[in-house]
Amino acid sequence: MLGLEKKDFRLLLIVIGLTMFAPFILNPFPEGSEMAQFNAGYPDLMQRFVIFGIFAIGFNILFGLTGYLSFGHAAFLGVGSYAAVWMFKLLSMNVLPAIILSVIIAGLFSLIIGFISLRRSGIYFSILTLAFAQMSFALAYSVLTPITGGETGLQLALDDPRILGVSQTESGNIPVPALFGLEMRSSYELELGAWLFTFNAGYYLAAFFMILSFYLAIRIFRSPFGMMLRAIKSNQTRMSYTGLNAKPYTLAAFVISGMYAGLAGGLMASMDPLAGAERMQWTASGEVVLMTILGGAGTLIGPVLGAGMIKYFENIFSKINETILHGWFAFLPDGLENFVVALIYPFIGKGWHLTLGIVFMLVVIFLPGGLVQGGQKIMGLFRRKKPEPTKPNATEPAE
């Protein structure tokens, strides 16, 4: 089906099911209950799950297949965001042209950076990409202020010269991004008993692009091109001895990965038409590295799981405060309650980075294959080996 093997097609169906039913899956607890704070089924966070999933999928094509570790991929995310916002300002509030331009601009930018950076390998390649990303951040933050908006960021204004759309709505407000009239912020709420589920137009657009990105990643992984990238990661020197030049393949992987990042940046601007230099900072590049390694570098679904986990920690786990902890442990005697809260508090709220760091450390030590390897081990525990049927006329070999 769709040119995929049975196993890959089943994996694609799992991803489709998870994204389509995310409003139900991410809201397991009733509204108003003490556990409702762990619900992650609101539009803004669901959009982040799939957008950063796209970002991580693209990064995995470079790092997971070729072994080239880039510390500057956030530059393409930022460039994609800026391109999308400029498309909104100059042409139309339709998100499709903005997303297409984001992918194209990010691809051209990654072609230039990749052509220079890939002259080196190993740590030197990583440092070069980091240098380019920091240069891009500095340019966006201060030098190119008329284009990027500087530290305040690039945003829409009431006097934008929009060619195929109005600069102001009838009520005098700035128009919002839409897909042929369907606004990205449009949401439908479904109330079932004590549960409240939100279905957002922007989320499902981003989810569609993530499914498409995941499908393309599968095709790349299983293609002869993907096999060449694996050969580069395995032994580039031996590959060169056969007469094959690895540079065109690594450059192609770098550009494809950059275009994925540009797509993620364009979608971020489509959900919230604002582009800032902070999206190009080295911390954003380091975040996608963590996502990929945490989920499982070189696997198909691993980067998506890693992106979801980090964004969940950042947006949900970080909101647990001391008051909530006292509510949880109120059944304990006062002295013991205060002790338990004091023991747990450094690991939650503002200390969520500490917990994430411990989880990352444990994954790297005990699960080098990331969360995917952990899932495979758990599934292996539930699988029972079926005894092989004995052949009736089988003869035992003589000793």
pLDDT at residue 388 greater than cutoff 60: no
Is 231 a domain residue? yes
Domain that holds residue 170: 6-28+39-279
Residue 2 has pLDDT above 90, yes or no: no
Give residue 66's pLDDT: 93
Name the pLDDT band for 399 (thresholds 50, 70, 90). very low
In a domain, 381, yes or no: no
Q: Is residue 359 part of a domain?
A: no
- Residues 250 and 66 sit within 8 Å (Cβ to Cβ): yes
Q: What is the mean pLDDT of the chain?
A: 89
Per-residue pLDDT reduced to its tens digit, 70-127:
999 999 999 999 999 999 999 999 999 999 999 999 999 999 999 999 999 889 999 9
pLDDT over 60 at 387, yes or no: no
Residues 361-382: what's their mean pLDDT?
87
pLDDT at 227: 93
pLDDT value of position 391? 53
- Distances in Å between the Cα of 157 and the Cα atoms of 89, 144, 197 are 8, 18, 33
Q: Distance between CA 176 and CA 300 in Å, rounded?
A: 34
Asked if residue 317 is part of any domain, the answer here is no
- Does 395 map to a domain? no
Domain membership flag for residue 296: no
Helix (H, G, I), strand (E, B) or coil at 91: coil
Q: Which residue has the higher pLDDT, 107 or 320?
A: 107
- Confidence band, pLDDT 50/70/90 cuts, at residue 239: confident
CA atoms in the 13 A half-sphere facing the CB of 167: 8
Separation in Å, CA 27 to CA 43, 46, 165, 188, 242: 12, 11, 37, 15, 54
Identify the H or E element spanning 128: helix 122-138
Q: Is residue 153 part of a domain?
A: yes
pLDDT band of residue 393 (cuts 50, 70, 90) is: low
Domain assignment of residue 208, yes or no: yes
If one counts the domains in the chain, the total is 1
Alpha-carbon gap, residue 96 to 173, rounded angstroms = 22
Give the model confidence (pLDDT) of 47-77 as tens digits.
999 999 999 999 999 999 999 999 999 999 9
pLDDT tens digit sequence for 207-223: 999 999 999 999 999 99
User: Environment class of residue 129 by beta-carbon count within 10 Å: exposed (0-12), middle (13-18) or buried (19+)?
Assistant: buried
pLDDT classification of 390: cutoffs 50, 70, 90 = low
Nearest alpha carbon to residue 136 among 167, 175, 103, 110: 110
Give the Cα separation of 206 and 243 in Å (integer): 42
**pLDDT digits 0-9 by tens, 162-210:** 898 888 888 888 899 999 889 999 999 998 888 989 999 999 999 999 9
